Structure 1
């Protein structure tokens, strides 16, 4: 009976030691930032944003130019024709406003398109490292207050960076 109790306690303690290795953490934001393809994606997103802003400026300039043309014609143009011009100006203005309001959604879609493959590659590397180390759960340390305490030994960042070929 004593032997059984000793064996039970030993297995219980051994199980706790094994269980302690089932959890790890990683700062996913820092991992993504350290990946070379993230820099290229950020540059591409910045160029896309600059293009959208340039398109918006061009729309505003087109509206302003047309407004000045209509304003110059106001004294010599029939009221019916002026209403047509006003409708045209309202349409130009509305188009510019709608485009401006769509910019955040366009940027978000472009960001998802550019970062999607990068995030997928990082997640795959995390999955492979976690499986190789028999880790059951990996926490993201980049989320505020997600980890209140962890031992550095459980940080997967070095292993995942190695898996991705990042120094």
Structure 2
């Protein structure tokens, strides 16, 4: 019995020594760019950005109008009205600045909210491709940590696209 186990181990060991590890690579940005959801995300973000931009432009127009009016009439205004108008102008500057910052934050949050489900879907597809095709590793070429990949590395982009039903 012991001889059979030893013979079996000696027969299997060379086979396992010659077994190759299967490595693959994919550029996740290429997958994302091929996703049909990308267009919807970009349209939604562009619409939101346009809404904020329009509102900020309205505020800037009103601000410029007030500044021009202030400059034109400052010599004829009493000191108390002059100070009140200056305060209004400073307050308008602060509101514009605040809205600008809010717009940037909202756009970042919305982008994260819209992109994360797509990223999760891509990760799941890559994991599924790895499991189904026996890959040991699949490297993302978008991440700059990969300094070299040989021709023996398999590009799994077509497999991931197929998994996601993308042409």
Give the TM-score band, short-chain normalised. Answer: 0.7 to 0.9
Aligned to 2:154: 154
Unpaired stretches in structure 1, ≥5 consecutive residues: none
Give runs of aligned pairs for residues 35-46 of structure 1, distance below 5 A.
35-46=35-46
The number of residue pairs the alignment matches comes to 163
Aligned to 1:60: 60
Whole-Å separation in 1 of the counterparts to 2:152 and 2:40: 31
Whole-Å separation in 1 of the counterparts to 2:52 and 2:120: 27
* Contact 2:24-2:139 within 8 A present in 1 as well: yes
Aligned to 1:94: 94
Unpaired stretches in structure 2, ≥5 consecutive residues: none
Superimposed CA distance per residue, residues 87-108 of structure 1 (whole angstroms, 9 cap, x where no aligned partner): 1110101221233344443332
Q: CA deviation at 1:148?
A: 0.6
Relative to structure 1, is the Cα distance of residues 86 and 42 closer, same or farther in structure 2, using a 3 angstrom cutoff?
same
Q: CA deviation at 1:10?
A: 1.2
The alignment's C-alpha RMSD in Å is 2.5
Give runs of aligned pairs for residues 47-126 of structure 1, distance below 5 A.
47-126=47-126
Q: CA deviation at 1:153?
A: 5.8
Superimposed CA distance per residue, residues 29-74 of structure 1 (whole angstroms, 9 cap, x where no aligned partner): 0000001111221222222222222222111101112223334443
TM superposition score normalised by structure 2: 0.81
SS of residue in 1 equivalent to 2:68: helix
Whole-Å separation in 1 of the counterparts to 2:112 and 2:102: 16
Aligned to 1:13: 17
